[in-house]
Chains A and B, each alone.
Chain A
Amino acid sequence: MSNLENTQAQMRRGVLEFCILSIIGQGEVYPSDIIAKMKDAKLMVVEGTLYPLLTRLKNQGLLAYTWKESSSGPPRKYYTLTPIGEQFTSELRITWQELVDAVNQTTSNNPIS
């Protein structure tokens, strides 16, 4: 892995959790739905990446899931945010906004006033 790829991967990895929590926050979802959105946003390339993350977030008490029957294949897990998860997400959102501002400010060409 080159240095560039490495740094890119790290940057992406940092926001991955926030994005997934946000997607789940928009309503009950199935991992494939999350993948689809993440793929569209080019945040995630392969599906397998998602499962360890979901399991960890669930074990941290941020996510809950319910089983639902599927027409094709085995029953599916549908994920929702727990109250803790919602709190967590909204705080991440604030942090993210601060981060965006901070990054914009430091990377913009404006001379330091």
Chain B
Amino acid sequence: MNKTVTVNIGGMVFHIEEQAYDQLKKYLEAIRGYFTSSDGRDEIIQDIESRVAEMFTERIGSNRQVVIASDVEHVINTMGRPEQVAGADEENADSNSSSGIGGATSESRGYRRLYRDPDDKVIGGVCSGISHYIGIDPIWLRLIFAIAFFVMGTGFLLYILLLVIVPKAKSTTEKLEMKGQPINIDNIKKTIEEEVEDIKSRISGKGSSKAGSSKIANFFEAIGAIIVAAIKFFVGFIGVIIAIVLIGLLFALFVTLLGMSGVIGDTSIPIFLTHFFLESWQVNTGMFALALAVGIPLIVILYRIARSLFKLKNESKLFNYSTGILWIVGMLLTIWIGINISSQFRNSNTDRIVIPIVQPQSNTIHLAAMDETFSRMQDYDDSNFSWNSDSWGINSDEDSVSFDDVELTVQRAEGNEFELVRITTSRGSSRKNAELNSRQIVYPIQQNDSIIHFSKSYIIPKGVKFRVQKIRLILKVPEGKSVFLGQEMEDVIYNIKNTTNTWDNDMVGHTWTMTSKGLDCLNCNLDESNSLNYNYSTDKDEKVKVRVNGKNIDINSEDDTINWDNKDVKIKIDGDGVVIDAKEKR
């Protein structure tokens, strides 16, 4: 007495014994496994099934009702073994290869791919997959991962990473690829048979899987089961945390983009960008591109985690392809926008203008900073712009933005008059464009008698774009005439050469005279010593205080000798008293 199965073969109904059914099914699957769909696999299988149905009908006749194993064997004998069926038309399979002389069969021997092995796994089959790939026993890899688990959790992180990245070997073909076995009919058949055996033995409960043969393996399995349960819980826990973090990131990205695109919240940044840096389409496209390039990977990781957490089996090809394509689009767009924006900075242009100034009555010209600029900067310090810090050198409101990129230097004049030269540089998509960009910026200079007021920064009006504009001012001072640098000019002057090698920020507040050697300071010494305290400490920890205050010098000293040397002043303190030598300058 045997159980039967009802099947539809080639549009006809047959009752077939279970054992015969298994045999037939394996046979057809083995044939199917050889062909790809481009070979017309479905049609071939259909033709073969039709013929099988015909043969069954012939053999059963009218005196039987059930297809038995011998019928299936007859069919297989008539039709031929799977490799015969497939082998006859082998040229088809590799029609592009040169003539089949020599090795007739093309085998992808030795070609391995990294998969996770679902048949031999402790957690996700990562270790056994790698062991197939590099050809060592998985137990060593598991040991390494287990040890690495305790090294700052690196093993754990690496495992999670591999679990997410490495695909699971699902189909028979993938399993053969994983083991590096050639994909041919024999191997496919063997693998399928092994699987069927494995399932059968598991169902009947006689002995576990292949690994179950040795006691050591059993021992490890028992321990493994406990560890697995714990780790699975832990992995799930970590997965949930990572998922929450990712969701948070996505949300943040979303909100940021919305905020930047002006849908919600303060609209400052995009307006700032569109007004003074980029075209609005560049901003919009750029943000869209960034959203794709950053958001898509986050979504994919989230999706993967969700899948492994909820054990979803079917991988959505549509999802994979669409995210892949979207990500590539995002990356390409980002690159394109980047190139597009950088092309706006490709060319540079330099404009040199002599600014007419009225020659002062006296021999000294005073340089001062313009008041409005400073008050203006104070005002905008608490405005909405996060860009508005002094360190950025950028200040802005919605109608204009100002930059600190102004440098003033002093040179010797050729003739007998003061001269002021303004050199403006800018970048642009073309030379013409760069020229336009440099002309459109606003930089006011004001002269009141002998005082020239300089602004600390130049202004880009709304509609004109920032293209690294730079303003360099050269004040040409004739020999014998002087220039006084106002205290606030500290931020404007840049690297003014002088005979005393004084730094820019020490030059302000003094009058500098153009000599044959260069700029020299007339009143430096007096002013420099304005209320300074010098503390000297000797070995005996006795302190000497020298207080220089305008014209008065107070010194408290002990017995020791102290010398202070400078180019201009020499102070000598010893038991006899204090000697101060000041060099005569002129």
Q: Which residues of A contact B (CB under 8 A)?
A: 1, 6, 9-10, 13, 16, 31-32, 44-56, 59, 70, 72-77
Contacts of B86 in A (CB 8 A): 52
Q: How far is the CA of A76 from the CA of B47 in the complex (A)?
A: 9
B84 to chain A, nearest CB (A): 5
Contacts of B88 in A (CB 8 A): 13, 16, 44, 49-50, 52-53
A1 to chain B, nearest CB (A): 8
Q: How far is the CA of A54 from the CA of B82 in the complex (A)?
A: 17
> Are B39's CB and A46's CB within 8 A?
no
Give which listed residue, B47, B56, B101, contacts A54 with CB less than 8 A: B47
Q: Which residues of B contact A (CB under 8 A)?
A: 10-12, 31, 35, 39-40, 43-44, 47-48, 50-51, 53-54, 56-58, 77-82, 84-92, 100-101, 104
A1, A6, A45, A50 pick with most chain B CB within 10 angstroms: A50
A60 to chain B, nearest CB (A): 10
Jot down 25 A-B pairs with beta carbons below 8 A, ordered by A. Answer: A13-B88, A45-B80, A45-B84, A46-B78, A46-B79, A46-B84, A47-B79, A48-B48, A48-B79, A48-B82, A48-B84, A51-B85, A52-B39, A52-B88, A52-B92, A53-B89, A55-B44, A56-B92, A73-B12, A73-B53, A73-B57, A73-B58, A74-B11, A74-B54, A75-B11
16 new A-B contacts at CB < 8 Å, known A32-B51, A53-B88? A13-B90, A13-B91, A44-B88, A46-B78, A48-B85, A49-B80, A52-B44, A52-B92, A72-B57, A73-B10, A73-B53, A74-B10, A74-B12, A74-B53, A76-B50, A77-B50
Given that A48-B84, A54-B47 are contacting pairs, would A10 and B79 also be in contact in the complex, using a CB cutoff of 8 Å?
A: no
> Are B39's CB and A56's CB within 8 A?
yes
B87 to chain A, nearest CB (A): 8
Give which listed residue, A46, A52, A76, contacts B89 with CB less than 8 A: A52
| Interface secondary structure of A, over-half rule | helix
A50 to chain B, nearest CB (A): 8
CB closest chain-A residue, reference B81: A46
Contacts of A59 in B (CB 8 A): 40
> Are B50's CB and A74's CB within 8 A?
yes
CB-based closest 10 A-B pairs? A46-B80, A48-B85, A73-B54, A49-B88, A48-B79, A48-B80, A55-B40, A52-B89, A74-B10, A73-B57
B86 to chain A, nearest CB (A): 7
> Are B43's CB and A55's CB within 8 A?
yes
> Are B40's CB and A47's CB within 8 A?
no
Contacts of B89 in A (CB 8 A): 49, 52-53, 56
Give which listed residue, B47, B54, B82, contacts A55 with CB less than 8 A: B47
Contacts of A48 in B (CB 8 A): 31, 48, 79-80, 82, 84-85
> Are B39's CB and A47's CB within 8 A?
no
Given that A16-B88, A48-B31, A52-B44 are contacting pairs, would A9 and B57 also be in contact in the complex, using a CB cutoff of 8 Å?
A: no
B300 to chain A, nearest CB (A): 38
CB closest chain-A residue, reference B38: A59
Given that A49-B80, A51-B48 are contacting pairs, would A56 and B53 also be in contact in the complex, using a CB cutoff of 8 Å?
A: no
